[in-house]
Structure 1
Amino acid sequence: MPPEMKPGRVRLVGAGPGAADLLTLRALRAVEAAEALLYDALVPEEILALAPAACLKIQTGKRAGRTSMAQPTINRLMLRLARRGLQVIRLKGGDPSIFGRVGEEAAFLQAHGIEIEVIPGVTAACAAAAQFGFPLTHRGEARRVVFTTARLEAGTLSADWATAADPEATLCVYMGGAAAGELARRLIAAGRPAVTPAAVVESAGRPEARRLFAGSLAGLAEARLAGEGGPVLIVVGEVAGLPAVQRLSGPRAVCA
């Protein structure tokens, strides 16, 4: 980089669950001012269209179970664009701090002298709760919220089962569709009652969102989920069985 050129800045921005009107105002302004936009696979076209016409747009992938750009490659690309003096937006689905690798990217950029800013976004669990009319905490029933992923290690579902089995915790499992049945069985084995309410939501926060399942852990253990390929969130806890808060309009509900 020539000594007279000042490096640009990288903003690590949460795009929310996918609906453009759930962007924060700060995130919207960042996208509208972007000169280079590196976006995840789940960010929809209606949000990408908010960037200037001259903005350089690069899809970085990052979809569970699918081929995507390697993290070191993304890091180097952000660094190279920032060193060209560009205002770089790294646009992530949901909130950057929740399974968004924001810590890794921020540490890499700061180690190379690049100024960063993190702009939060609405995460899928909050979007699902609002859209389908249940809270994540509830006095006397749900005192804690646990965000986790359903990940397989050596073919076995890995999680902190003691924490997940806490009867006063609402468990929000991201990217869990393929492991839903095994997750339910493991929770029951860890001590979570089989009658604990559970819900499965696909594409939370988007107009096409669907509730694929509403029932108990025992039912989820035997359910066959038939989604349309959108991101899947599993919610386990007493809140999933509470009567739905009234909404002006709502998404489709498909119960297994």
Structure 2
Amino acid sequence: MSLSSYAASGQVTLVGAGPGDPELLTIKALKAIQAATLLLVDDLVSEGIVALATASARIIRVGKRGGCRSTPQSFIEKLMITAAQEGERVVRLKGGDPFMFGRGGEEVEHLQAAGVRVDVVNGITAGLAAVTSLQLPLTHRQHAHGVVFVTGHAKPGDSGTDWRALAQTAHSAKLTLVIYMGVGGAARIQQELLSGLAAGTPVLIVQNASLPQQRHAQTTLDQLHATIEREGLGSPAVIVVGDVVSGVSAMDQTGIYLERRG
């Protein structure tokens, strides 16, 4: 797609900024960013990616991060609609992929209902980037027949994921679990997954995937919460549960390996 394809007035493009490394952007995402007159940027988008916008583009930070003060979703949607109706070329710049726990589906529905043209550009999701950075797969013919991407954070009033049922399914079907936004609820997730998965099931926690400050720890399911607490791992992070994690080769005598890149 050429840069001129984005020249039509009054549109919104949801762009996946990936896990943070600017070199992991797609060419299509780069073209959309450079054609934007207005960028609405999530907290998890790295400054290196924001810097790719033109000097004339307006940039508005619309932070969305669990446990922190966030811009109301209704305000973001209203801002996108108003700007597009005024002829702006709006890019909603979102960490990871817009349709992977990024409320992209909700935003598309609201934009379409308002008669606003909307496009979506995929980005590399953090769950994939996290394991790839350590040269690990999410599926493997010997270790995992499939993968489940799941959120560890439920909206208010929602009971959230049935971890016990998921554990049983993961065990019987040999699935890798990739848990987003699960650090805060790690103790409960650990307890409930242990109802169907072995205590020694390999687990990987990756913080700031793909960025220079990436850190990761390998442990076992029965030590998940203790490892997070002891090593001070926090958001943004993904938790990967399954035998594919056993491929991390560099471990110390405690069975936990921490890496600080940069």
Q: Tell me the distance in 1 between the aligned counterparts of 2:159 and 2:104.
A: 24
| Residues 1:188 and 1:46: Cα distance change in structure 2 (over 3 Å) | same
| Residues 1:125 and 1:244: Cα distance change in structure 2 (over 3 Å) | farther
Q: Tell me the distance in 1 between the aligned counterparts of 2:248 and 2:43.
A: 34
1:211-230 aligned at under 5 Å gives the runs 211=216, 213-223=217-227, 224-227=229-232, 229-230=234-235
| 1:201 corresponds to | 206
Give the aligned residue type for 2:201: T
1:77-96 aligned at under 5 Å gives the runs 77-96=79-98
Q: Tell me the distance in 1 between the aligned counterparts of 2:88 and 2:154.
A: 39
Q: Tell me the distance in 2 between the aligned counterparts of 1:216 and 1:143.
A: 20
Q: Tell me the distance in 2 between the aligned counterparts of 1:35 and 1:151.
A: 33
Q: State the TM-score, normalized to the length of structure 2.
A: 0.86
Deviates more, 1:160-169 or 1:81-90: 160-169
Q: Tell me the distance in 2 between the aligned counterparts of 1:253 and 1:14.
A: 26
The answer on 1:17 being equivalent to 2:19 is: yes
| Residues 1:153 and 1:220: Cα distance change in structure 2 (over 3 Å) | same
| 1:97 corresponds to | 99
Q: Which runs of 5+ in 1 are unaligned?
A: 1-5, 246-250
The counterpart of 1:171, out of the listed 172, 177, 192, is 177
Q: Which runs of 5+ in 2 are unaligned?
A: 1-7, 251-256
- CA RMSD after TM alignment: 2.2
CA contact (8 A) 1:7 1:114 kept: no
Give the aligned residue type for 2:206: V
CA contact (8 A) 1:185 1:221 kept: no
Deviates more, 1:34-43 or 1:137-146: 137-146
Deviates more, 1:224-233 or 1:92-101: 224-233
| 2:192 corresponds to | 186
Q: Tell me the distance in 1 between the aligned counterparts of 2:115 and 2:128.
A: 34
CA contact (8 A) 1:146 1:164 kept: no
CA contact (8 A) 1:16 1:123 kept: yes
CA contact (8 A) 2:166 2:193 kept: no
Q: Tell me the distance in 2 between the aligned counterparts of 1:182 and 1:71.
A: 28
The answer on 1:235 being equivalent to 2:237 is: no
1:158 is paired with a residue of what secondary structure? Answer: coil
CA contact (8 A) 2:22 2:49 kept: yes
CA contact (8 A) 1:18 1:43 kept: yes
CA contact (8 A) 2:181 2:237 kept: yes
Deviates more, 1:225-234 or 1:96-105: 225-234
1:1-256 aligned at under 5 Å gives the runs 7-151=9-153, 158-161=160-163, 162-165=165-168, 166-167=170-171, 168-189=174-195, 191-211=196-216, 213-223=217-227, 224-227=229-232, 229-244=234-249, 253=259
| Residues 1:225 and 1:15: Cα distance change in structure 2 (over 3 Å) | farther
CA contact (8 A) 2:218 2:258 kept: no
Q: Tell me the distance in 2 between the aligned counterparts of 1:103 and 1:155.
A: 20
CA contact (8 A) 2:181 2:235 kept: no
Give the aligned residue type for 2:41: Y
Q: State the TM-score, normalized to the length of structure 1.
A: 0.88
Runs of 4+ in 1 over 4 A off after TM superposition: 152-157
Percent identical among aligned pairs is 43
Deviates more, 1:68-77 or 1:213-222: 213-222
| Residues 1:155 and 1:244: Cα distance change in structure 2 (over 3 Å) | farther
| Residues 1:84 and 1:244: Cα distance change in structure 2 (over 3 Å) | farther
CA contact (8 A) 1:150 1:173 kept: yes
- What does the per-residue CA deviation read over 1:133-167, in whole Å, with 9 as the maximum and x for residues that have no partner? 21100103211111111125789973122124412
Give the aligned residue type for 2:200: V
| Residues 1:214 and 1:243: Cα distance change in structure 2 (over 3 Å) | closer
2:194 is paired with a residue of what secondary structure? Answer: helix
| Residues 1:131 and 1:195: Cα distance change in structure 2 (over 3 Å) | same
